[in-house]
Structure 1
Amino acid sequence: MKFKRKTIAKGFIIAGLMNMSVLVFSRFFTNKVINETDPDVMSNFGLVMIVVWGLAYISVAKTYQNVTWLIGIFAFEKLIYGITWAKWIFTNNLATVFEKDAMAGMFYAVYGVNDWLFCVFFSIVFFPLMKANNSG
């Protein structure tokens, strides 16, 4: 699958903005239901780090082809969050979270899907870059 550089750059920006959406769902870190629902991963510190990752994605949008291994790290990071979400979704009751707070429920319903999608995106960007760099 081959994408144009502008399309890939937009993908990095969208990935970053999706991470920034945690500010909305958490009501700028005041939504305690998100923290209480998964305190190990979604503490306020964890949420701040999600924002930091988002800033990192945006920061390389126009120069991603120069940081091949960082893109691989992005894919790996998204894989970890995707697996963590899948484990959480199969061992918890999402309806209970929605009952406590709709925004927290929406967050837990979609964050893992977002992570899996961007894991695929970053992988699609990473592997051709790695191949191109090794064939030179």
Structure 2
Amino acid sequence: MKIKSKTITYGFIAAGTMNIGGVLIFSRFFTNSTIPEFDPVVLSSFGLLMILVWGLAYLSVAKDFAKAKWLIAVFSIERFIYGFVWTKWLMNNDLSAVYAEDTMAGIFYTIYGANDWLFFLIFSYVFSRLMLKKNESNN
């Protein structure tokens, strides 16, 4: 299966928009204290700000992703780490306790890692495609 470049561009835009919009909406523009309360290391106010910055990085390469092959690899690794940390968090914490304190924070904790795993797969696909394209042009 080959995905068109225009579709991949939309994928980068979606990733950036989800990071930026997700953080701003669910954190209520950084005023929701419940999100950092349940994971003060990864999802501190600073951590949420950095997620927003990653979103800006995805947007910055959306149209020229083919020129940023190794950066796409970094994006894939970053998404893997966040997905892994979320999975580990779910295994060691009670999601219902987050919902009991704040529904928006509960929704955030429910979806943020699934989003990371999805974009890990997408970014990995894009990186693989770019690597294959380079190998084909060298032959």
**Structure 1 runs of 4+ with >4 Å offset:** none
- Pairwise CA distance, 1:117: 0.2
Match of 2:24 in 1: 23
Kindly state the Cα deviation for residue 134 of structure 1 after the two structures are TM-superposed: 3.3
Question: How do residues 125-136 of structure 1 correspond to structure 2 at under 5 angstroms?
Answer: 125-135=126-136, 136=138
| RMSD of aligned Cα (Å) | 0.7
How high is the sequence identity, in percent, across the aligned residues? Answer: 57
In the TM superposition, 1:51-130 aligns within 5 A as: 51-130=52-131
What is the TM-score when the length of structure 2 is the normalising length? 0.96
Name the CA distance, whole Å, in 2 between partners of 1:37 and 1:7.
36
Q: Is 1:12 aligned to 2:16, yes or no? A: no
- Structure 1 CA distance for aligned equivalents of residues 52 and 62 of structure 2: 16
TM-score (norm 1): 0.98
Query: How far 1:128 sits from its partner (Å)?
Result: 1.3
Partner AA of 1:56 in structure 2: A
Q: Amino acid of the residue matched to residue 44 of structure 2?
A: S
Q: Cα offset for 1:26?
A: 0.2
Counting only pairs closer than 5 Å after superposition, residues 31-42 of structure 1 correspond to structure 2 as 31-42=32-43
